[in-house]
Amino acid sequence: MAIDFELSQETRAARDYYHRMASEKMRPLSRRYDEDEHEPPQEWIDYYWREGRKQAPSGGGGDGMVRGCVQAEELCWGDAGLYLTMPVGALGGAAVLAAGTREQQTRFLSAFGGDGPPIWGAMAITEASAGSDSAAIQCTARRDDRTGEWVINGTKIFCTAGRQASLHPGGFVVVWATLDRDAGRAGIKSFVVPAGTPGMKLVGLEEKLGIRASDTATLTFEDCRVPDDHLLGSAEIKQRARGSGDKGFRSAMATFDASRPIVAAMAIGVGRAALEHVKRRLEEEGVEIRYDAPPRELTAIERDVMEMEAELQSARLLCWRAAWMMNQRRPNSLEASMAKAKAGRAVTRITQKAVALLGPEGYSTRSLVEKWMRDAKINDIYEGTQQINQLIIARRILDYPSSMLR
């Protein structure tokens, strides 16, 4: 399978544009909104909505998903938490694209290109008893045949951008709920719940280790009613062979095939920020990295830096491969999980090593290195933990169903 890793001229221009945005607009705000976790970064939100998204070089060149990964890497080089506060469709929008009809995609997503106030999309999947195992969801949806509406009840936790998406008019939250708990995966469906819908309530915000600029919300749904056409996919509950659920669940899960390469790119951006800082500080102290020296002559620091560089580059290549396959409309579940697993582990190691190499400076708040280490860890957790992605990889390679490999 031939893959061209040469970026188009348009994507290279976009990369340069997003890097300037990260350097000039995001980095100066990093420390402030890391410390003021629950204060919305309004100046960044306003800038991105009014100027940043509109001034980016126009699309073209056929890079598509690869360009999205390039954007994520550059902006997370700036600040991963601020990246997650951008007024975009995010996971909610990805779910609509993966499982919604063309009419639903137009209806729910067109406002993100408009000139109104900022809006957000979010996804509500995780529950106290349903984390990595999405099929264990207890949140319910039942159809009221009298009104033709769906009635949702349950509690969702760890909803990225859940505050913004649930409160700002025009935004929405895509909620995963079961029509029949006994049906397992086949009963899981996703519903678009517009911001401000009665019965959807913001009840809490998490205090987190990293990505503190981003809000991570707890939402409750109490007799929350949405129209019939807010269901993404079919209401039919149909079991498939090997117990993998119906098309609706699979379409919803396809969201992760698109989002995991983006998360990998986010991790790469954080890791690159830490690595570049380390190399700059070493250069300032007169420490040379001798790439042409025989391996037996390398110092411990040189070996560490080269290993960090290799980890970062291999993660990027896996990320771009998964994104390229999506551009080609090829199944990429295996490759998306490989990219996510590799990048999550790599950035955790790279940022921890950066702190170690810089000693007291790395551990203090004099620089952003300690923050990058904290921001890095989430990439090994959300969008499927390291362990879950390794399970997916094993199942795809061995062609095993979930019932045979847990």
Query: Which residues carry out catalysis?
Result: 383
Break the chain down into helix, strand, coil percent, rounded to 5: 55, 15, 30
Nearest to 126, CA basis, from 173, 186, 79, 87: 173
Residue 58 neighbours by CB under 8 Å, 6+ apart? 10
> Are the beta carbons of 161 and 122 closer than 8 angstroms?
yes
123-156 per-residue burial string, b: 16 or more CB within 10 A, e: under 16: bbbbbeebeeebbebebbbeeeeeeebbbbbbbb
DSSP characters over 345-380? HHHHHHHHHHHHHHTHHHHSTTSSHHHHHHHHHGGG
Cα 399 from Cα 18, distance rounded (Å): 40
Task: Give alpha helix (H) positions in 22-172.
Answer: 30-35, 42-47, 53-55, 65-78, 80-83, 90-99, 102-109, 162-167
- Tell me the three state secondary structure of residue 54: helix
SS3 237: coil
